[in-house]
Amino acid sequence: MLTPKQREMWRVNKYIWLSLAFVFVWLWARHEQFDPTAQTCLAWTLAAGCANLGLRSWIAFRSPAGTTGQWGWAFSIADIALIAVAVRYTGGIRSDLWLLYILLSVTETLSVSVKDELLLLALTFAGYTVSVWPIADDSAFLTRLFFLFVISAIARRLYLNAEERSRQLAVLREQLGVAEEKSRVARELHDGLGREIVNVILGLEVARRAADRKPEQVPALLEENLALLRVAMNDTRDLIFQTRPWTLEGDGGAAFAERLERYARQFADRTGLAVEVQCDMGDAALSPQTAFGLLRIVQEALNNVAKHAQATEVTIRVYRDGMVLAATVADNGVGFSKLQTLVKSGIGLPSMRERAQDLGGTLDVASQPGQGTTVILRMPSV
C-alpha cells in the first residue's frame, strides 16, 4: 500500500517515464539522420536513462517519504550528464532534446533548499553548455539559459504556494478536529455521564420515599445507586484518559505501548470483550503527536467494534514492517459487505482516514459478512 508521499512521487514519475518513451520514439524516427557512432552512443544513453530512472523509482517506492534520500544528488548529476550526451549527439544547439533540461529543472528543484536549487541550476547550465559547445548562436544559448532559470523559479513558487495551502488546510483540519472532539466530549457527557447521574438522582429519590414506607428496601436501592455511581466514575476516568494532553517521556515507543495496553484493559472491562494487544515496534521512535494520532485511530476502531461488530474478541497489533509502522484492529464480529453503508451510518471512517493522512499514512478496511472486520493503518516509521 502506497503512502501519500509515494503516490505524490508516482504522479510526477509517470510523466518522466512518458517523456522517456517520447525520446525513444523521437530517436527511432530520426535514427537515419545520425552516424553509426552517434546511434550507438544514443542507444547506450537511452538505456542508461531507463536504468537510472528505474533505480530511482525503486528506491523512492521503498521509502515511505517517497524520496531517494542520500542518493538524490547522484541521480540528478546522472540525469544532467545523460541529457548532455543526448543533446550533443542530436545536433547540439539545434537539438530539440534541450527541452529535457526544462523537465529536469522543474522536477529536481521543487522540494530542495534555495542553495541546492541554485547549485542544481548551475550544474544544469554547465551540462547544457558542454552539450552545445562550441556555441554557434549566443542569442539562442543565453535565451534558453534565462528561461530555464525563470521556469524553474516559477515552478518552485507554485510548489511553495501549494505547500503553504496544504499547511493552512492542515491547521484548519486540526481546528475542526478540536471542535469535533469538544462536540464528542459534550455528547459523551450528555448521553453517558449525564444520563447516569440523572438515574442516580431518581434512584435516590425512590430510596428517600422508601425510607418512610418500606425501609427494608433502602439498602438494596442504595446498592443499585452505588453501582450506577461506579459506572459513572469509570466513564469519567475513560473520558479523562481519552482527552487529557498527550505527553511521552523517555522511550516514546515503550510509553505508547504501555498506554495502549492500559486503554485496552479499560475497554475490555467496559465492554466485556476479550482484547489482545501485540505491540512490537522495534526501535521505531514516536513523537507525542504521532502517538496521540495513532491511539485516537485505535480508539475509534475499538468504539466501532463495540457499537457495530457484535464481536466477542478483538486483536490489536502495532508493529514495524521495514520503513513502515503498521497497526491493525481485527474483530470476529459480523463483518459487512458494503463499506459505504456503514460510512453513512456514522461508523467514523472518514475521520479515521483524515487522521491517518495527517500522520502521512493510509487507512484501509478489510471485511466480509460473517468473517469480522480488520482496520489497517500504515504510516512512515520515523
**Mean pLDDT, the chain, integer:** 82
Residue 190 has what pLDDT? Answer: 72
Considering only residues 382 and 236, tell me which one the structure prediction assigns the higher pLDDT. Answer: 236
Average pLDDT estimate for 186-205: 78
Distance CA 150, CA 154 (A): 6
User: Mean pLDDT across the stretch 134-151?
Assistant: 85
Eight-state DSSP code of residue 189 = I
Cell 499547511 belongs to residue: 167
Q: Is the pTM of this model over 0.85?
A: no
Domain spans in the chain, listed from the N-terminal domain onward: 4-136, 249-382
Q: List CB contacts of 151: < 8 A, sequence separation 6 or more.
A: 102, 105, 106
Average pLDDT (351-373) is 85
Rounded mean pLDDT, 44-56? 92
3 state DSSP class of 324: strand
pLDDT tens digits, one per residue of 55-103: 988 888 777 666 777 788 888 899 999 999 999 999 888 888 999 998 8
Q: What is the mean pLDDT of residues 342-367?
A: 75
pLDDT of residue 338: 54
The residue with greater pLDDT, 233 or 241, is 233
In angstroms, how far is the first alpha carbon of the chain from the final one? 17
Q: Supply the pLDDT for residue 222.
A: 87
The strand pair at 274-280 and 313-321 is best described as: parallel
Per CATH, the number for 249-382 is 3.30.565.10
Q: What is residue 68's three-state secondary structure? A: coil
Classify each residue of 330-348 as buried b or exposed e, where b means 16 or more C-beta atoms within 10 Å of its C-beta: bbbbebbeeeeebeeeebb
Is the pLDDT confidence value at 350 over 80? no
